[in-house]
Amino acid sequence: MPESYLVTAGLPYANGSIHIGHLVEYLMADTYVRALRMSGHEAVFVCADDTHGTPIEINARKAGKTPQEFVALYAEEHIRDFHRFSIEFDSFSSTNSEENRRWVHEIYARLRDGGHLIERDLEQLYDTEAKRFLPDRFVKGTCPKCGTEDQYGDVCESCKTTYEPKDLINPRSVLTDSTPVLKTSTHLFVPLKTYQDFLRDWTHTESRLQPEVRKFVEAWLQEDLKDWCISRDAPYFGFEIPDRPGKFFYVWLDAPVGYIASTEQWAKTAGTPKAVDQFWREGRGKIIHIIGKDIIYFHTLFWPATLHAAGLRVPDRIQVHGMLTVDGVKMSKTRGTFINASTYLEHLDPMYLRFFLTSKTGASLTDIDLGVDEFVHRVNAELVNNLANLLSRSLSFLNTKLDGIYGHLEADTEPYILQAKEALRLGEAQYAGFDLSGAVRSALDIATLGNKLFQDGAPWKVLKEDPEKARNLVTLCLNLARAAVVMIAPALPTLAEKVYPMLGLSLRPTRFEEGAAFDLVAPRRAGAHDRIIDRITRKEFDQIVEATKALAPPAPEASPSPVEPLAPEIDIETFSKVDLRVGRVLSASTVEGATKLLRLEVDLGEDKPRQIFAGIRSAYPPEALIGKNVLVAANLKPRQMKFGLSEGMVLAAGPGGKDIWLAEFPEEVTPGNRVH
Ligand SMILES: [Zn+2]
């Protein structure tokens, strides 16, 4: 039965370019929306630039622009990049819009009038010359721990200690070089624990969260949620709080409200202005947010609590995806793998990346790896040599040897047609369940079948003796190719648009049913065929990497980091005393009063997970650890810490700060496996 959906993708921050890491999500959302429509559903796809907050205010100032001018430049760039990747929003708005301001005001009024806000004083460093409170990175001073001078207000580059800006010795403002003073300011908080029961119910509702996300959120909900500060002091780029002159809404309050404001902009443009209330107040359709792992906390706690408190509809589903890695590691500017969408587009057709990323995107939170050799190999083997090849060889044969006229589907082709129809049904269900990878596979399976029939049937041999038999065989192959194209159309819309006229069909596929039609038969004829898509080489991708390196700011003067001298030699018996195991992170949370630590629950295949404290908070947001397979020293004597018992150690490398990397295993490895 046709249903109605409102689908959102995370709002890109208007402070930088769209890169291939972002594209994982936008391609996933765009493909999902296209598939919903091809299944006959109504789907509205909205997004917006996230424009507010201190980083934008400060970067605009550095660029000599107003924040409005600054975000306008990125809006233009974002819209252009999305369009070139065929990512088609029904509305791509901005959180700095009048619609958004009105919605934020309404939500604020409901929170305030419902008694859902509390006031509290905060003490922060204040620059009396610049007349502003100073964010962490706008204060420098001497490290309170090791005494190194000229350190930022959040972390010491030398000893990696993290602290509050007010802990610095001899602090001074980066803006004016004056000595900041401590100043008290009153702020507004949402007491999230008021909503704890509501959030528990919301979390437990079937199909709202993926099971692994639910576990994660449940762990947060086991403890009292902290009050959430929703105000910031001027100067701030954002919406001023109506009855609090000089106070602004924190960007994380107004950013998700941008989903609603963008829905309103769509509704107006579509000539159905009431649709925004139908979706957000009245219960039309399903509201689905597609997000990355890094913003789970905001979307599963703050956002539903805020909507609930304001009497608006809460989301029906939050679909979380893994992060992009390149050749198995985080994207990196210096390695040239932090690739902007626009840099990629200068070298390769967007279709290749759409194909590869959707073919790797499933319904789980597993990180998505762009292995460069795998990318090149699979594009060539699966997209070019399988799907495009079936189309090219069959079309070319029909057009050059048989006047381009289709034949008939013979009686003995029925099993193949049934097989293709089955793959179409499966693929449609896979798209609906966010298993894009499975759906792409289903399409390729149909193409593989077509290629095998072409090869085995050898129409070039049959042609002389029985041209009609050859025509019928090629006709079957082209009907299968069409089914595969229809199946893959949500992932590769431009391929479908290019190929449909070649098959003698109009425009583009609009429904999955078309793939099961098998109606490319006499007296219809194929259209003129053309090259569909070319093979790629590793060299082309390497050029993208080189171009990205050239964009990166010059590396800071090489600081030779001498390799730590080796520890004294040990024998194998001594080594084998250390029991190393694969552990899967079930939950991760910050620890009150410990700025460096995360508290992990790690599954080692035992009766119950272990609690392990790890000093990795500076390098990993807790959400990013969800589902990771890590390396654990498992027979280490448990250590009683101030915060609880630590039952093991997770192993990591790196100098500290942001540069800490956990040793990881692929998801296929079972937790509890011993590492030898
Ligand atoms: Zn230090």
The answer to whether the beta carbons of residues 667 and 325 sit under 8 Å apart is no
The candidate with the shortest Cα–Cα distance to 238, out of 441, 430, 101, 45, is: 101
**Separation of CA 652 and ligand 1 centre (Å):** 21
- The model's pTM is 0.83
The answer to whether the beta carbons of residues 622 and 598 sit under 8 Å apart is yes
> How many angstroms separate the first and last alpha carbons of the chain?
54
Provide φ and ψ at 172, rounded to 5°.
-145, 155
- Give the pLDDT of residue 560: 47
- Give the pLDDT of residue 554: 62
- Give the pLDDT of residue 160: 76
The candidate with the shortest Cα–Cα distance to 671, out of 611, 610, 605, is: 605
**Separation of CA 144 and ligand 1 centre (Å):** 7
**Separation of CA 160 and ligand 1 centre (Å):** 6
**Separation of CA 155 and ligand 1 centre (Å):** 8
**Separation of CA 596 and ligand 1 centre (Å):** 14
What secondary structure, in 3-state letters, does 454-477 show? HHHHCHHHHHHHCHHHHHHHHHHH
**Separation of CA 146 and ligand 1 centre (Å):** 4
CA distance 28 to 433: 12
**Separation of CA 565 and ligand 1 centre (Å):** 23
The candidate with the shortest Cα–Cα distance to 236, out of 222, 246, 226, 224, is: 246
The candidate with the shortest Cα–Cα distance to 194, out of 223, 219, 230, 227, is: 227
Starting at the edge strand that comes first in sequence, how are the strands of the sheet with 132-133 ordered? 132-133, 118-127, 181-190, 228-229
CA distance 433 to 441: 14
**Separation of CA 170 and ligand 1 centre (Å):** 14
- Give the pLDDT of residue 558: 45
- Give the pLDDT of residue 511: 97
- Give the pLDDT of residue 562: 57
**Separation of CA 169 and ligand 1 centre (Å):** 11
The candidate with the shortest Cα–Cα distance to 635, out of 652, 648, 650, is: 648
Indicate the DSSP class of residue 162: B
CA angle 250, 253, 255 (to 5 degrees): 105
Please report where in the chains the tokens 């936008």 appear, as a residue: 26
Q: Which residues contact 6 (CB under 8 A, 6 or more apart)?
A: 43, 44, 46, 263, 279, 285, 286, 287, 288
**Separation of CA 163 and ligand 1 centre (Å):** 10
Mean pLDDT by 10 residues, the chain (676 residues): 95 95 97 98 98 89 92 95 98 97 97 93 92 87 92 84 88 92 95 94 93 90 90 94 94 96 98 97 96 91 94 97 92 90 96 98 94 96 97 97 97 97 98 98 98 97 96 98 98 97 94 97 95 95 94 58 73 88 90 84 91 88 84 91 89 81 87 90
CA distance 120 to 191: 11
**Separation of CA 151 and ligand 1 centre (Å):** 8
